[in-house]
């Protein structure tokens, strides 16, 4: 769940993708952030 955390969401996604476990699904839910979190998620 993300709400106005654009400064941290990219780092969190990259950290999850760097894991060695191969069968992973990343689900991100944005609760109408107003700080550009959604756009940052799309660009990651």
Domain assignment present for residue 39? The answer is: yes
Q: How far apart are CA 44 and CA 5, in angstroms?
A: 14
> What pLDDT shows up at residue 2?
82
Q: How far apart are CA 3 and CA 17, in angstroms?
A: 21
Tell me 33's DSSP state: -
Domain assignment present for residue 1? The answer is: no
Domain assignment present for residue 37? The answer is: yes
> What pLDDT shows up at residue 19?
94
pTM of the model: 0.68
Q: How many domains does the chain have?
A: 1
Residue ranges making up the domain that contains 25: 6-43
Q: What is the pLDDT of residues 1-44, one digit of tens each?
A: 789 999 999 899 899 999 999 898 989 888 889 999 999 888 87
């Amino acid at each position: 769940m993300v709400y106005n955390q654009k400064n941290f969401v990219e780092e969190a996604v990259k950290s999850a993708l760097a894991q060695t476990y191969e069968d992973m699904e990343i689900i991100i839910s944005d609760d109408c952030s107003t700080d550009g979190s959604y756009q940052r998620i799309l660009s990651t």
